[in-house]
Structure formats: structure tokens, C-alpha cells
Amino acid sequence: MYVYEHQAKAILSGYGVPFARGAVAASAEAAEAEAREVDGKGCVVKAQILAGGRGRAGGVRTARDPAAARAAAEALLGSRLTTAQTGPGGQRVKTVYVEELVEPSRALYLGLLIDRSAGRVAVIAAAEGGEDIEERVAGDPGILHRLLVDPQTGPDAAEARRLAQELQLAGAAESFVGLVDSLYRAFVELDANLIEINPLAVLQDGGLAAVDVKMGFDDNALFRHPEIKALRDEDEIDPVEIEAARYEVNYVKLDGDIGCVVSGAGLALATLDLIHKAGGKPADFMDVRPVASREQIATAFGFILRNPNVRAILVNMFGGGILRCDTMAEGIAAAVREVGLKVPLIVRAAGTNHDIAAKVLVSQGIPVAFETDMGAAARNVVAAARRGGA
């Protein structure tokens, strides 16, 4: 789950993270009023959407006076902002964030995320931030500096000072050490999976200020943080994804035409990779949890059957100690009986009761092509989608 910039700043300000003065506005009049509070210093009007790349898309505008802030808000509110992270349809701008203009002497990048290979939180930073940071890191990985945090002790002050030195922050080293400590506490205490500050401004007086921040949380830990969960904007989430969450199914709608039903998140990612390798485009990511019931599986499969963009479906099931292949097959059969099947269905079943699963589908008259090899299954479903479905 991600939150808007202004929500992330409100959360992190409680941990002592320094920000410029700002407020959210849902109207041009409110944006103008907030700009008047900046005392003539000028402000920045930022579209609030759950995606990065706003600056390149015209979603961040500088205003030197309240009238300019009003005009910027009028242009942004109600518009659809399209960035590399929104997809072609973009996201509608419902609010803007009006923030005091910060003119830094330098702009850095600072982020915290989970390094799964190390099993620790990693602090990553670059001496120059900006919206093109991903492209620059891809071209020169050496510009990115890293600090792994020991979960038993938290951030080591000496290591944080070393990182500050690598970032050429001699005059703000202690402020940087304190900032890393604050961000790490927020990351751990709130079960975050990402905190990204880009840019982190070095001010003329040597201080630091987080100009923009992106913050994401572990969905599986939201039950521990009802105050965070309450910030979720369901208007920005596909209604099917919301319904899927109610049935404890991990579902993310994508823009392809091949429906995917897979038991296990890792297997689901591998399946999507194989479909891409075969030249296809998945219509969804769906991970059926090991504890799923027949009813939950039937509901999940129904989401795909009702998707008008789907031209073929691949089911990749691996029966384990909890979720058996025949349980998945029974759920699929129930969904087909209710909704109907109008596109080709390819099934790859392995593990516990895979043979019974095949008998369940065949005995109920469901037209299905079976594969034992994942690569062959992916190639066949791509070919079926290209033939135009049923």
C-alpha cells in the first residue's frame, strides 16, 4: 500500500524528519490561500497521485505568488496525469500539495528498502538526486552508495557518517546521521517496505529538508496499523482488486490479454516472466494463497472470466502440503459453471493430487489443454491468445 506525498510527510514529521511548510488543497481557492501563508517566498504546487514521475508530466509547478498558485491548481485539479508509472490512462488529480519553495545548494537521493538477499533494511543514497535517478544508476551503478542495517542494533552512527562522507556532506554529517536514524525507526515501527526521499535538499545553511517523499507499507502488516490502513484511497484501486482482497486473493490487474491463476507468489512471478519471454502480455498477477478454499478460488477465477480483455487463460498450480491441485480444480470448475468459459484454458498441474485435478476438470466437461512443462504452457497460451480466443 502506498500513500500520497502529503500523507507520507505527515507520518514522517512525527519522527522528526524535516520538511518545508506545506498543506493539501482540494480547490484552487484553497491553494491560493495556502500560498499566501508562505510569506512571499514562492511555493510549489504538486499534483497528488500515487505514482512517480510527476515533474516530467507537468504535475509539479512553481508559483512565485498566490495568483500563480491558484492558476497552477486550476490547471492540475481534475486533470489526468500520465507518467511512466500510471499506465496510459493516467490518474486523476483530486488534490494538490502547496509547499514552500526550497532552493537547495544540492539535491541528493536517499531511500530505505528491504534487501532480501541480505535479509536486512538497506539505506541507499546518491550524491545527486532527481527524477532520472533510475536511468543514471542503470548506466553507472557506482553512483549508488549502500548501508545495511543490523536489525539488532539499528543504524550504526559511524557507518552513517561514512555514508555522509561519501555523499560529500561534511557540514551536515550529524544531521544526516539523525535523519537516517529517524527514517529507520519509522520504517521498522510502521512495517514500511519503502521510504524514498528524492530529492533530499541540502539547504544554504547546511541543514537538510526532504522535498519529496514516497512511502509504501507491507499490506500483510496493515492489521497492526489501522491508522495507516485508513489512509488507503480506494478510488485509486481497481474495484476487482478490492474485492479480491476481501477473499484473501492477491490480485493485480495488468494491461495484457492472458489471464493467469497461480498458486504461490514466486511461481506467479516466474509464470509472468515465461509469458513475457514467449511474447505474450499477462492480464493480471494472481497468487492463490495456500489456505484458499474452493469458494475463494472460484471467486478469484471468476475475476478473470469476467475480464473482457482476456483472450486465453493459463492456470499454473503446484499442489503442496496445504493447497492441493484438486482443490484448485474444483474452484475453477465452480467458476466456469457459474460464468461460462469463452476463451482457451491451458492448465499445468504438478504436485499433490495433480492427476485428480485433471480428472475433476475433464469429468465436468470443461474444455482444457494440459501441459506438464511450464515453458510449453506459456508458449501455448500465448499462441492461443494470438489466435483470438474462442
pLDDT digits (tens, 9 = 90+) for 122-177: 999 998 888 788 888 888 888 899 999 999 999 999 999 999 999 999 888 999 99
Q: What average pLDDT does this structure show over 350-357?
A: 92
| Shared domain check, 295 and 339 | yes
User: What pLDDT is stored for residue 134 in this prediction?
Assistant: 82
Residue 1 lies in a domain: no
Last residue of a domain, one of 63, 83, 100: 100
Residue 14 lies in a domain: no
CA 311 – CA 122 distance, rounded (Å):
41
Last residue of a domain, one of 45, 74, 100: 100
Q: Where are the alpha helices (DSSP H) in the chain?
A: 5-13, 28-36, 66-76, 133-139, 157-166, 173-189, 226-229, 239-246, 265-277, 294-305, 325-339, 354-363, 374-386
User: Which cell goes with 111?
Assistant: 531511500
User: What pLDDT is stored for residue 287 in this prediction?
Assistant: 87
Confidence tier at 241 by pLDDT (50, 70, 90): confident
Task: Find, among 170, 178, 126, 116, the residue nearest to 148 by Cα.
Answer: 116
- The answer to whether residue 15 is catalytic is no
Confidence tier at 247 by pLDDT (50, 70, 90): low
Question: Model pTM?
Answer: 0.77
User: What pLDDT is stored for residue 238 in this prediction?
Assistant: 67
Q: Does residue 38 surpass a pLDDT of 70?
A: yes
| Domain span including residue 35 | 21-100
Q: How far apart are the first and last CA of the chain?
A: 37
| Shared domain check, 252 and 201 | no
| Shared domain check, 255 and 151 | no
User: Which cell goes with 59?
Assistant: 504535475
CA 285 – CA 366 distance, rounded (Å):
23
Q: Where are the alpha helices (DSSP H) in 115-263?
A: 133-139, 157-166, 173-189, 226-229, 239-246
| Shared domain check, 257 and 220 | no
- Exposure letters 297-318 (e unless 16+ CB within 10 A, then b): bbbbbbbbbebeebbbbbbbbb
CATH number at residue 266: 3.40.50.261
User: What pLDDT is stored for residue 104 in this prediction?
Assistant: 87
User: What pLDDT is stored for residue 245 in this prediction?
Assistant: 72
Q: Which of 99, 196, 330, 371 is catalytic?
A: 196
Last residue of a domain, one of 60, 85, 100: 100
User: What pLDDT is stored for residue 216 in this prediction?
Assistant: 96
* Average pLDDT taken over every residue of the chain: 91
Over the stretch 173-232, which tens digit does the pLDDT of each residue have? 999 999 999 999 999 999 999 999 999 999 888 889 999 999 999 988 999 999 999 998
Range with the largest mean pLDDT of 68-72, 254-258, 363-367: 68-72
Residue 6 lies in a domain: no
Q: Which of 2, 4, 97, 109 is catalytic?
A: 109
Total number of domains constituting the chain: 3
Residues paired with 318 in a beta bridge: 350
